[in-house]
Amino acid sequence: MRRMREEPQPTEQATPESPYRIRRMTREDLPAVMDLEKASFSNPWSFELLQRELGHDWSVIFLLEESLMEGGRRLLGISIFWIVHDEVHVLNVATAPAHRRRGVGRRLMEATLAEGRSRKCSLATLEVRKSNDPAIHLYKSFGFRPVGVRPNYYVDEGRAPEDAIVMVLDF
């Protein structure tokens, strides 16, 4: 059974204690998200792929923004995931390079997993580069466990192929 697509709703508002706000991505966010992708990855998602994800009922893209003193907001990170039946499948978590190690990825994962729980999911899955120790550590801190390897999963131009570790979290 397909779920109805909900209108973008903020999941977390900026407060005096936290300058961060998490919300769903809209089409107007595509240029900023493309800039973040290009800054974060040697092989970023394409504009067309991101645009297609916005149209899928099962796809959710969260943005984490920081309120600026002079007004406005700055995009610090994104989480792209699917909700299919009772599973959350995390496709992409990216943090702007200048803002890593500040809890951005953690907050995005918290929001992603909370969305899955609110939709009665019982399982979360993801793939992560074997060499990405900070991400592996983050996922393990949420209770994800490695369950397999996808050989040569990541193939980037000019780099040797790299295995992915498949990780699972039971809710």
- Asked if residues 23 and 3 have their Cβ atoms less than 8 Å apart, the reply is no
Q: Which residues of the chain are under the pLDDT cut of 70? A: 1-18
How much is the pTM?
0.87
Q: What pLDDT is attached to residue 115?
A: 97
Helix (H, G, I), strand (E, B) or coil at 123: strand
Domain spans of the chain, in order of start: 20-117+151-157
Q: What pLDDT is attached to residue 55?
A: 94
Distance (Å, whole) CA 11 – CA 28: 18
Assigned superfamily of 20-117+151-157: Gcn5-related N-acetyltransferase (GNAT) (3.40.630.30)
